[in-house]
């Protein structure tokens, strides 16, 4: 439980990460309902009082149904009304709790299927205590019937009014009122206040925060919640390019595999279009890896300053630029890479810097953009970035501290690769990723991670969230490949398993 406001998006990430760690959504629902009942009991002393709960068909309704059981156990005369039908209940945990209530003879349960059902429900007007469990977080459009009428009938009652999490009708993030909204005497919000509650305070009443048992680790370990943002269904009206246009700048007169791996990983992560800019000696080789890649030559033997104009032109048509894989350490190349990164930051491009691109940063004093830029060093590259020895590479606290220092130095999100990945923000915020297997020490897996991160970054949720999701997926893909091939995996095997790792 925390007192700082949390967005709807971040709350969902926490819940799913808690579920990933073993504290299931059903367990959280049981805790939420119990805590809601405890607050109501402490303020109302409900024994023999008429308590009516008006529940929706989602998770908020399930919280109310659990609360109903506890209030009944404390001696209240309880009635529960479902706004909708049992068939329309969208949460499996809510359905479980609705069926439990139907088995309890002392609790009257019924459905309000229509606007007229709501208007004829006299119990709402006669109640001593009313509890709103209709909707909770996530409202983005005006309320529909019969819920819109239920809110009006609810507000017309003279009962003491409680809302669970967010009064129905309030946008939990913006505080906007979507038509009508419940005017609660008390709002019992779950885990942390939602930003909209602080804006629409006149609808909230007395704000109480309930601890529902979300583990602290759910906010510090990468998990299924971090991936959830990046696996939303695509609209039928989507067009080519809506889900990421990625430009990879890499390769040299020697190296061709690294930029190809990055580009193919970006495609497998779901990017619509992936282009590669590579030096003349290798661009045809990279093109041969896959007909799905659009490969252009830089027109030079290696990346040099004369290429900067061509890079800027190519970057204008892309959402994200990934620079570094296979560039080599030619002095001219490192200087050109540093200038390109500076240019792209000035152009406010989304950017992933890896491999030899990191070596270019290490010789500069560049400041990046922590909301738009991810750098992906391993420990040796981090030492180059920081220009000094960093101490014990296996000490977890030291790894976190050094990654945070690098984030602050370059004003970027750092994804420090290792047995446990560390993702840091200049603010000091960090997460740890535990997915992956030792077999991923094989060459090329870092290039794969770069491609995954580039596609995640194109989704628009910011650099920190993109890096967390990328680390999680990269490790899961390696685990999937290892289950099939053991210690004989190659980077291309990890690419092939990205869709399986991202499957909801």
Residue 424 has phi, psi (to 5 degrees) of: -130, 155
- Mean pLDDT, rounded, for 328-345: 96
Percentage of residues in the chain having pLDDT higher than 70: 100
- Mean pLDDT, rounded, for 453-481: 98
Alpha helical stretches, state H, 414-462: 445-457
Q: Report DSSP letters for 340-352, one per residue.
A: HHHHHHHTT-EEE
Cα–Cα distance list, 488 to 135, 435, 481, 482, 494 (Å): 50, 18, 9, 8, 11
pLDDT tens track for 70-127 = 999 999 999 999 999 999 999 999 999 999 999 999 999 999 999 999 999 999 999 9
Residue 61 CA to residue 100 CA, distance in Å, equals 13
**Domain 8-217, what architecture?**
3-Layer(aba) Sandwich (3.40)
Quick one: pLDDT band at residue 411, thresholds 50, 70, 90?
Answer: very high
Q: Taking the CB of residue 233, how many other CB atoms lie within 10 A of it?
A: 7
pLDDT at 463 over 80: yes
pLDDT tens track for 20-77 = 999 999 999 999 999 999 999 999 999 999 999 999 999 999 999 999 999 999 999 9
pLDDT at 348 over 80: yes
Quick one: pLDDT band at residue 178, thresholds 50, 70, 90?
Answer: confident
Residue 386 CA to residue 410 CA, distance in Å, equals 10
The per-residue b/e assignment along 8-22, b for 16 or more CB within 10 angstroms, e otherwise, is bbbbbbbbbbbbbbe
Q: Show the beta-strand stretches assigned E in 225-319.
A: 245-249, 273-278, 294-297
First to last CA, the chain: 27
- Mean pLDDT, rounded, for 128-132: 98
pLDDT at 3 over 90: no
Report pLDDT for 1: 52
- Do 156 and 189 contact (CB within 8 A), yes or no? no
> Distance from CA of residue 429 to its chain's centroid?
15
Report pLDDT for 431: 98
Question: Where along the chain do its domains lie?
Answer: 8-217, 241-420+443-466
- Mean pLDDT, rounded, for 231-260: 94
Please give the model's pTM, rounded to 2 decimal places: 0.95
- Mean pLDDT, rounded, for 187-193: 98
Mean pLDDT rounded to a whole number for the chain: 96
Handedness of CA 125, 127, 129, 130 (dihedral sign): negative
> In 3D, which of 130, 55, 131, 134 has the Cα closest to residue 97?
55
- Would you identify the CATH topology of the domain 241-420+443-466? 3.40.1190
Quick one: pLDDT band at residue 139, thresholds 50, 70, 90?
Answer: confident
How many CA atoms are closer than 13 Å to the CA of 63, on its beta-carbon side? Answer: 28
Cα–Cα distance list, 220 to 184, 216, 392, 433 (Å): 34, 7, 22, 9
Quick one: pLDDT band at residue 200, thresholds 50, 70, 90?
Answer: very high
pLDDT at 2 over 80: no
Residue 143 CA to residue 192 CA, distance in Å, equals 24
> Distance from CA of residue 58 to its chain's centroid?
20
More confident residue, 2 or 300: 300
pLDDT tens track for 272-298 = 999 999 999 999 999 999 999 999 999
More confident residue, 93 or 2: 93
pLDDT tens track for 210-243 = 999 999 999 999 999 999 999 999 999 999 889 9
- When mean pLDDT is compared across 46-55, 138-147, 299-308, 344-353, the lowest value belongs to 138-147
In DSSP terms, 55 is beta-bridged to 82, 133
């Amino acid at each position: 439980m925390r007192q700082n406001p949390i967005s709807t998006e971040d709350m969902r990430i926490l819940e799913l990460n808690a579920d990933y760690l073993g504290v299931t959504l059903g367990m959280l629902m049981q805790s939420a309902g119990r805590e809601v009942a405890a607050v109501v009991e402490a303020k109302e002393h409900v024994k023999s009082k008429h308590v009516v709960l008006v529940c929706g068909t989602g998770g908020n309704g399930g919280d109310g149904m659990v609360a109903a059981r506890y209030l009944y156990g404390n001696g209240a005369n309880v009635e529960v009304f479902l706004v909708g039908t049992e068939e329309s209940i969208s949460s499996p945990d809510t359905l479980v709790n609705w069926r439990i209530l139907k088995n309890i003879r002392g609790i009257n349960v019924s459905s309000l299927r229509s606007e007229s059902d709501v208007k004829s429900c006299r119990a709402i007007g006669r109640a001593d205590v009313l509890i709103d469990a209709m909707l909770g977080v996530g409202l983005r459009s005006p309320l529909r019937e019969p819920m819109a009428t239920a809110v009006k009938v609810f507000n017309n009652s003279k009962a003491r009014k409680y809302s669970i999490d967010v009064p129905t009708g309030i946008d939990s993030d913006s505080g906007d009122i979507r038509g009508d909204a419940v005017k609660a005497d008390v709002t019992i919000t779950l885990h942390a206040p939602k930003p909209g509650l602080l804006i629409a305070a006149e609808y909230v009443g007395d704000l109480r925060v309930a601890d529902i048992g979300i583990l602290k680790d759910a906010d510090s370990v990468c998990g299924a919640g971090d991936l959830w943002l990046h696996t939303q269904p695509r609209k039928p009206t989507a067009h080519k390019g809506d889900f990421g246009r990625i430009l990879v700048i890499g390769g040299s007169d020697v190296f061709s595999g690294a930029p190809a791996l990055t580009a193919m990983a970006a495609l497998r992560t779901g990017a619509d279009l992936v282009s590669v800019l590579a030096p003349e000696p290798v661009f045809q080789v990279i093109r041969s890896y896959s007909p799905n890649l659009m490969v252009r030559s830089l027109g030079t033997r290696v990346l040099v300053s004369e290429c900067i104009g061509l890079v800027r032109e190519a970057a204008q048509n892309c959402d994200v630029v990934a620079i570094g894989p296979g560039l080599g350490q030619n002095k001219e190349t490192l200087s050109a890479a540093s200038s390109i990164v500076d240019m792209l930051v000035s152009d406010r491009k989304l950017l992933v810097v890896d491999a030899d691109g990191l070596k270019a940063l290490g010789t500069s004093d560049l400041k990046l953009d922590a909301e738009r830029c991810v750098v992906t060093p391993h420990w040796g590259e981090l030492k180059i970035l920081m220009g000094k020895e960093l101490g014990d590479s296996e000490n977890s606290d030291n790894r976190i501290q050094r990654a945070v220092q690098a984030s602050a130095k370059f004003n970027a999100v750092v994804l420090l690769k290792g047995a446990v990945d560390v993702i840091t923000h200049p603010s000091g915020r960090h997460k740890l990723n535990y997915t992956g297997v030792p077999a991923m020490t094989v060459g090329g897996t870092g290039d794969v991670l770069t491609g995954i991160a580039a596609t995640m970054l194109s989704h628009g949720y910011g650099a920190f969230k993109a890096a967390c999701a990328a680390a999680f997926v990269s490790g899961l893909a390696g685990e999937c490949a290892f289950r099939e091939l053991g210690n004989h995996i190659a980077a291309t095997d990890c690419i092939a398993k990205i869709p399986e790792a991202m499957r909801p």
